[in-house]
Structure 1
Amino acid sequence: MDTNLAIICGLTFVIHLIGTLAYAARIAGVRTGHIATALTLFNLLILVSRTSNSFQAPFLAKRIETNLSAAHTPLLADFQWILGSAAAATACGALLVPTAQRALSRAVVLLQTHRSLFRLLLHGVHPQRLLLMRRYVAIPAPTNLRSLTTRGGLSWGFLGLNTFAVALWTVGVFASLYAGALEPSLRVTCSNLSSIINGAATIVMFLLLDPQLSLLTDDVVHHRTSQNTFRSAVASLVGARLVGVVLAQFLLFPSALLIASVARHI
């Protein structure tokens, strides 16, 4: 792995790590009762994720252009490395959810006091307080792992749909870029066809999946569902996300072929 690919994999790792830790923000909101404040902290994490994504795209595009101009395209292995880093980040994020949930719960309380994200950041980056971060470190409890069997009341169909949507969302942009490598004369067209894959994932996520999770969150806040049930549901969703990111490895090539075919016929 060369330096350029290592940078791309590192940025991909950050993007998917934050995407996984988003579930910790929901748990923190439920635990503290300050849902909106927890989502504010989540938006701060999303800012870091989007910044990483804005750097990742030109690095990846430049790598494809360089490979095409050099008349050799070992790009499938590159994309497999990138998707592998996404899977590693998701697995790491799953292990860090308990730690992130504790840290974010504390941050929510502090934000109520400081009333400013800037002041909260200054408070958090103090060297002495950084050393205290170790008190928030926690590993997933065995009870949380066993709760995967109950799924927090979520159906297998719902989790399967979530897995497939995550797989499509993960592979969409990469498939469009790889399709451009397969069809160099149409690579600009291919790069703009990621919506063929991502569009379906976005519809499923925002119209079918996210509303259900939001309703479940409201049920916990209004004591219609227990926090243990909510944690079981979140653990199941994190597991489904991990399976989806792994599944993306197998969808890369057929998705790229589909995009390349569409590019040839439109």
Structure 2
Amino acid sequence: MTIQIYLVFMLTFIIYLIGTLAYSTRIVGIRTGRIAVSFAVFNVFVLIQRTANTIQAPLLAKTIENGINTGNSGNLLYIFRWIIFSITLATIAGAILMPTFIKVFNKLVTSFSVYRSLPKLMIHAFSKSGIEQFRNSISIPKRENLSELRNFRKTPKKVILLNVIAFSISSVSILSSLYAGCLSPNLRTTCSTLASVVNSGSTIFMVIFIDPYLSMITDDVIKGECTELEFNRCIIFIVAGLIVGSILAQLILVPASNLIVIIAKLI
């Protein structure tokens, strides 16, 4: 494997780790009462996560060309599956680190009211006192929180299912388009341009179905119609859905690539 591929592994892990940890800002918003600030931080992280995976295409370009020239698409598929596996590892790591980052984001949101500037807040975060606060915030998931996974009957099953599907599609949107170009070299330009369409479609899917539900249940907590425990349970299942979605992405990678080839031929 080349340096570019290892760089893709590392960046993919970081991107999806950030995307998973972003959900902890919603819990912080409930606990601090600073909903608008917390959601602003959430939107920044999600925007980074949902758009930054486009860097995969240029970094993998040479590997794809080599696969097309040698006719060795199997090796390319092997690399893509490892990239998706790095997404699974990132979501699992994000779930484990979430208690720590809930405490960190809690302090960041509170400090934002003092500094009132994201650049100043970031400078403070990397200062000596900021690093010390992060060290003191390190914690592990509590057993009682993990036990909430047993209460599946009390969760919005349709929302969880839609979240799994949307995340699995977004995880393979770029990779399936690139692999489709390898399966049909004469249409690889058309296949690669379809990557942005697939990625945008999954993002719109999340914006229409998942984000509004989380906003609605947040309002219910503020109005007292929903408990904080129920809200936390929903976030736990959303994050668990990300892990399941990344595993599902392994299964749909090849079918999605074949579908893109069919669409490219029809255009």
Could you tell me which runs of 5 or more consecutive residues in structure 2 were left unpaired when the two chains were aligned: none
**Aligned ranges 1:77-88 → 2 under 5 Å:** 77-88=78-89
Give how far 1:63 is off. 2.4
Residue 2 (1) aligns with residue 2 (2): yes
Q: How many residues align?
A: 266
Once residues 169 and 124 of structure 1 are traced to their aligned partners in structure 2, the CA distance between those partners, rounded to angstroms, is: 31
Residue 14 (1) aligns with residue 14 (2): yes
Q: Deviations over 1:210-262 (max 9, x none)?
A: 21111001111222211111111100111111100110011000000110111
Residue 239 (1) aligns with residue 240 (2): yes
Match of 1:222 in 2: 223
Which sits farther off after the overlay, 47-56 or 107-116? 47-56
Which sits farther off after the overlay, 255-264 or 145-154? 145-154
TM-score by length of 1: 0.92
Match of 1:175 in 2: 176
Once residues 233 and 211 of structure 1 are traced to their aligned partners in structure 2, the CA distance between those partners, rounded to angstroms, is: 13
Q: Secondary structure at the match of 1:224?
A: coil
The answer to whether the 8 Å contact 1:14/1:52 transfers is: no
The answer to whether the 8 Å contact 1:151/1:232 transfers is: no
Q: Could you tell me which amino acid in structure 1 is paired with residue 236 of structure 2?
A: A
The answer to whether the 8 Å contact 1:193/1:259 transfers is: yes
Once residues 228 and 152 of structure 1 are traced to their aligned partners in structure 2, the CA distance between those partners, rounded to angstroms, is: 15
Residue 133 (1) aligns with residue 134 (2): yes
Alpha carbons of structure 1 residues 51 and 208: separation in structure 2 relative to 1, 3 Å: closer
Q: Could you tell me which amino acid in structure 2 is paired with residue 56 of structure 1?
A: Q
Once residues 239 and 78 of structure 2 are traced to their aligned partners in structure 1, the CA distance between those partners, rounded to angstroms, is: 26
TM-score by length of 2: 0.91
Q: Could you tell me which amino acid in structure 2 is paired with residue 41 of structure 1?
A: V
Once residues 132 and 200 of structure 2 are traced to their aligned partners in structure 1, the CA distance between those partners, rounded to angstroms, is: 43
Which sits farther off after the overlay, 30-39 or 49-58? 49-58
Residue 121 (1) aligns with residue 139 (2): no
Alpha carbons of structure 1 residues 164 and 55: separation in structure 2 relative to 1, 3 Å: closer
**Aligned ranges 1:66-215 → 2 under 5 Å:** 66-73=66-73, 74-151=75-152, 153-194=154-195, 197-198=198-199, 201-215=202-216
Once residues 227 and 71 of structure 1 are traced to their aligned partners in structure 2, the CA distance between those partners, rounded to angstroms, is: 55
Once residues 5 and 126 of structure 1 are traced to their aligned partners in structure 2, the CA distance between those partners, rounded to angstroms, is: 33
Give how far 1:30 is off. 1.1
Alpha carbons of structure 1 residues 131 and 70: separation in structure 2 relative to 1, 3 Å: farther
Give how far 1:72 is off. 3.3
Give how far 1:65 is off. 2.2
Q: Secondary structure at the match of 2:23?
A: helix
Give how far 1:172 is off. 1.5
Which sits farther off after the overlay, 149-158 or 19-28? 149-158
Which sits farther off after the overlay, 54-63 or 118-127? 54-63
Q: Secondary structure at the match of 1:189?
A: helix
The answer to whether the 8 Å contact 2:176/2:256 transfers is: yes
Match of 2:32 in 1: 32
Once residues 232 and 109 of structure 1 are traced to their aligned partners in structure 2, the CA distance between those partners, rounded to angstroms, is: 24
Which sits farther off after the overlay, 162-171 or 200-209? 200-209
Q: Secondary structure at the match of 2:36?
A: helix
The answer to whether the 8 Å contact 1:153/1:233 transfers is: no
Once residues 149 and 31 of structure 2 are traced to their aligned partners in structure 1, the CA distance between those partners, rounded to angstroms, is: 20
Once residues 256 and 229 of structure 1 are traced to their aligned partners in structure 2, the CA distance between those partners, rounded to angstroms, is: 38
Match of 2:257 in 1: 256
Q: Deviations over 1:100-131 (max 9, x none)?
A: 11100110000001111121111111134313
Q: Could you tell me which amino acid in structure 2 is paired with residue 179 of structure 1?
A: A
Once residues 60 and 91 of structure 2 are traced to their aligned partners in structure 1, the CA distance between those partners, rounded to angstroms, is: 20
Q: Could you tell me which amino acid in structure 2 is paired with residue 18 of structure 1?
A: I
Alpha carbons of structure 1 residues 40 and 155: separation in structure 2 relative to 1, 3 Å: closer
Once residues 152 and 121 of structure 1 are traced to their aligned partners in structure 2, the CA distance between those partners, rounded to angstroms, is: 41
Match of 1:62 in 2: 62
RMSD over aligned Cα atoms: 2.1
The answer to whether the 8 Å contact 1:152/1:229 transfers is: no
Q: Could you tell me which amino acid in structure 1 is paired with residue 31 of structure 2?
A: R
